[in-house]
Amino acid sequence: MSHSTVPRGRAEAKTTPTTPAPGAAGSGGANGKAHARSGRLGFRLRFRRDRTLLLMTLPAVLLVLVFNYVPILGNIVAFQDYDPYLSDNGVVAMFQSPWVGLDQFERVFADSEFWHAVQNTFVLFFLQLVLYFPVPVLLALLINSVIRPRVRAVAQAIVYLPHFFSWVLVVTVFQQIFGGAGIIAQTLADHGYTGFDVMTDPGAFKYLVTVQTVWKDAGWGIIVFLAALSSVSHDLYEAAAMDGAGRWRRMWHITLPALRPVIALLLVLRVGDALTVGFEQLLLQRQAVGVEASEVLDTYVWWNGIRNQDFSYAAAAGLVKGLVGLTLVLVANKVAHLMGEQGVYKK
Amino acid sequence: MTAVIDRPVRKPRWWQAPPRPVWEEEPGRAGLAAKGIVLGFACFAILFPLWIVVVTSLSSKKTIDEAGGLVVIPQDITFIAYQELLGGGQVQRAALVSVGVTVAGTLFSMAVSVLCAYGLSRSGSLGHRWILMTLLATMFFGAGLIPTYLLVQALGLTDTYLALILPSAVSVFNILVLRGFFMGISQELIDSARIDGAGDWRILWRIVMPLSRAVLAVIALFYAVGYWSAWFNASIYLTDQDMMPLQNVMIQLVQKQERPVGLATQINTGGLSALAVQMAVMVLALLPVAVLSPFVQRHFKKGMLTGAVKG
C-alpha cells in the first residue's frame, strides 16, 4: 500500500507547480478554500492528482452501474413479448424477442387485479400515514422528556431493537401471538371463545400490517427527531419561561417548530415512496391472508413476473409503478419547497 | 444567584434525576405516572413477545404441553431443542450459510463503501460531483424487480452465494453517512500527514479509519443486519434447498409448519416439542442482532445525523 503512495507524492510535487504547498495537493486547502483545488489546474493534472481517489470510488460505482443502471435498460422487455426460452442467455433472448409497443401496458391497465393492487397500496399508504407516522414523533417527545440518563438509555435500547429484526421474524412473532394457534387465541379458547385468528382475517389485515410496522420501526424512527430536539437551544426555552410560557406553551411554540423541518422532510420521503408499502412484510403474509387483502403493486409484479414468468407484463406494471413513484417524489418535493421547507434536495 | 454558586455540584446517582434547569417545572405525580405507563407499555409490547419465544424454546415438551402452546413462565429449562438443531442437519447448515454470507458480505460492503466514501470526501477532487450525482440518483428510482432479476440471471449468478451479496452490496445511504463523517475529520491532520509523505491509501488506513471507529461500527452493523435478515434474494435466486440461509429455513419451518429435514423422527416422539424447535430457530435468528445492536447504540444518533445533514 505504501509502495504506491510514495512515488505518487513525488510526481505530484513535480506536476503541480501551481500548488503552493504539498499539503494542498490532496486536500481542499488549509484555509477552508474549498475551490482552491479546482479551476486553475487542467483536466490532465487534476486526473493525475486525483487518480487514487477515483480508483477508490471505482468498485462502488461499478456495482451501482451494473446493478442499478443496467437493469433500467432491461425495462425494454416491457415493450416486448419477452420469451426467455429463445436463448440460453437472458440478454440474448431480449434482443430476439418481438417488439409489441404498448400492448403490455394496455393489458396491465385492462386488468382489474392490477387496479385492485393499486387500491390496496393506497389504502395501506393512507392508513400508515395516519396511524404510523405520528407515533415516532410522540415517542420521541416522550423519551426526550425523560431526564434520567440511565432510564433513557435503556428505553432507547429497547425501542430500537425490533428495527434490527428481519421481517420473517416479525411476522412469525405476530403469528405466534395473534395467530389461530397463538397465545391470545389459546387464552380466549380457555375461556370459551373460539375462532380467534387475526392473522388470516382479510378485514383486519390492513390494521395488522400497520401495527406490525409500528412495532418494528416506530422506535427506530425517533432517532432523527431526538437529534433535532437535542439541537434546540436552551436559551429559547429559558426566554419563553421568563415570558411566562408554561410547559405546554413551550412545547407548542418551541419544540414543535423545531421538529417541523424534519417532519416535513420525512413526510416528503413517505409520500414519494407511497407506492412501496412493505413488500417483504406483505409477501410473507400473502398466503395466510389471501391475495384479495394483501396484494399491493410490488407483490403483484413479483407474482406475475417471477412466479408466473410473465416477464414483459410484470415489467410493464413495475415500470408504471416506478414512473408514478418518481413523479410523486418530485411533486412532494415541490410542495415542500412551496411550504418553505428544504425537502429532499435543494432547488 | 449566590445560592447557586455556594451549592456544591454533585453528580446525581443513577436513580436520582439530574437537576432540572431553573426555569423548568418539576413534573407532577400524575404526569410522571402517565409517562411511566406509556413508556412501560411500549417496552412491554416489544419485550414480551421476545420473552415468550425465548422461554418456549428453552422449555421441555411436558411444560409446553401443559401450557397448551407458548410458555410464559419458565419451568425446567432445557437446551434440548438447541442441541438438536445445532447437532447437524438443515438448520445448522442454514445458520452456517447465514453467518458466512453475513461475514463475507459485510466485509465486502464495508471495503467498497469506505473506499468510495473516502474517494468522494476530498472536496474539489476531479469528478466527485458527477459520481455523487450518479449514486444519489439511485435513491430516487429503482430499476424494478423484473429487469434486476433478468440481469442477475443473465450474469449467471443464480444458485451462487454471490447472488445474495452483489446485488445489494452497496447502500448509497451508508456511503453518504460515511462520507459525511470523513468530511468532518480535521483537514489539518490530513494535510500534515500528506506533508510527511503519506498517500491517500495510507491516510485512509492510518488516520481516517482509526478516527471513524464509531461510525464504521454503526455502518458495519447496518450492513450485517441487512445480510442477516435478507431472505427475498435467496428465495428468488436460489433453487438448491441446501444453500438456503436461516431466514428462508425459518419461513419453511415456522410459517409453513414444515418439519426440519433430519429431525422429523425425533420430534414429538422423544422429549422434544416441535414448537420448542420452531422457537429455537427464531432465537437463533434474533440472537446475533439483539446482542450486537445495544453495543453500538450510542453511536446511532451521530451516524444518522451526519448522514442526514451532509447528504
The distance of A330 to chain B (nearest Cα, Å) reads 9
pLDDT in tens, A204-258: 899 999 999 999 999 999 988 988 888 888 889 989 988 988 888 999 999 999 8
At A326 the three-state DSSP class reads helix
- Choose the closest CB to B145 out of A24, A25, A305: A305
pLDDT in tens, chain B (311 residues): 444 555 666 666 766 777 788 788 777 888 889 999 999 999 999 999 999 999 999 988 888 888 777 888 888 888 888 988 888 788 899 999 999 999 999 999 999 999 999 999 987 788 889 999 999 888 877 788 999 999 999 899 999 999 999 999 999 989 988 998 898 888 899 989 999 998 999 999 999 999 998 889 999 999 999 999 999 999 999 999 899 999 999 998 887 776 665 555 555 556 678 888 889 999 999 999 888 888 888 787 766 665 554 43
Cβ separation of A183 and B148 shorter than 8 Å?
Answer: no
Residue ranges of alpha helices (H) inside chain A are 2-15, 43-64, 70-74, 90-96, 103-110, 112-131, 134-145, 149-160, 167-178, 183-190, 205-230, 234-242, 247-250, 256-272, 279-289, 291-294, 297-302, 311-338
Q: Which fold has domain A111-338?
A: MetI-like fold (1.10.3720)
Q: How many A-B residue pairs are in contact by the CB < 8 A criterion?
A: 337
Would you say the C-alpha torsion A92, A96, A102, A103 has a positive or negative sign? negative
Q: Does some domain include residue B84?
A: no
Q: What percent of chain A has pLDDT over 90?
A: 43
Q: What is the signed CA dihedral for B84, B89, B93, B94, rounded to 10 degrees?
A: -80
At residue A13, does pLDDT exceed 80?
no
The distance of A23 to chain B (nearest Cα, Å) reads 5
User: In chain A, which among 321-340 make CB contacts under 8 A with chain B?
Assistant: 321-322, 325-326, 329
Q: What is the pTM of this model?
A: 0.86
* CB of B164 closer than 8 Å to CB of B105: yes
- Choose the closest CB to B290 out of A53, A161, A172: A161
pLDDT given at position A148: 84
Instruction: Say yes or no: B300 contacts chain A, CB-CB below 8 A.
Output: yes
The answer on B142 and B68 residing in a single domain is: no
- Read out DSSP for B43-93? HHHHHHHHHHHHHHHTB-HHHHHHHTSS-SS--SB--HHHHHHHSSSHHHH
Instruction: Pick the residue from chain A with its C-alpha nearest to B40.
Output: A155
**Chain B residues with beta carbon closer than 8 angstroms to that of A94:** 150
Nearest residue to A256 via CA among A240, A223, A220, A232: A232
Tell me how far apart the alpha carbons of residues B167 and B148 are, in angstroms, rounded to a whole number: 8
One-letter amino acid identity for B154? A
The answer on B101 and B39 residing in a single domain is: no
pLDDT in tens, A103-160: 999 999 999 999 999 999 999 999 999 999 999 999 999 999 888 888 888 999 999 9
Nearest residue to A257 via CA among A235, A279, A236: A236
Specify the number of domains making up chain B.
2
The gap between the terminal CA atoms of chain B, to the nearest Å, is 44
- CB within 8 A of A98, min separation 6: which ones? A80, A81
Chain length of chain A: 347
The answer on B222 and B99 residing in a single domain is: yes
pLDDT given at position B206: 92
pLDDT given at position B163: 95
- CB within 8 A of A196, min separation 6: which ones? A180, A184, A185, A188, A189
Residue identified by cell 413479483 is: A302
- Give the residue numbers spanning the domain of B48: 29-78
Instruction: Choose the final residue of a domain: B12, B43, B78.
Output: B78
- CB within 8 A of B267, min separation 6: which ones? B259, B273, B274, B277
The answer on B52 and B72 residing in a single domain is: yes
Chain A interface test: which of B122, B146, B292 (most A C-beta within 10 Å): B146
Instruction: Pick the residue from chain A with its C-alpha nearest to B51.
Output: A173
pLDDT in tens, A58-91: 999 999 999 999 999 989 999 999 988 888 777 7
Cβ separation of A215 and B46 shorter than 8 Å?
Answer: yes
Tell me how far apart the alpha carbons of residues B72 and B54 are, in angstroms, rounded to a whole number: 10
At residue A271 the predicted structure's pLDDT band, cuts being 50, 70 and 90, is confident
Instruction: Say yes or no: A63 contacts chain B, CB-CB below 8 A.
Output: yes
The distance of A173 to chain B (nearest Cα, Å) reads 7
The answer on B152 and B58 residing in a single domain is: no
At A99 the three-state DSSP class reads strand
The CATH number of residue B123's host domain is 1.10.3720.10
* Global ipTM: 0.86
Grid cell at residue B156: 449467471
User: In chain A, which among 229-248 make CB contacts under 8 A with chain B?
Assistant: 230, 234, 237-238, 241-242, 246-247
Range scoring the smallest mean pLDDT among A33-37, A52-56, A88-92, B74-78: A33-37
pLDDT given at position B135: 93
The answer on B304 and B285 residing in a single domain is: yes
- Read out DSSP for A130-148? HHTTHHHHHHHHHHHH---
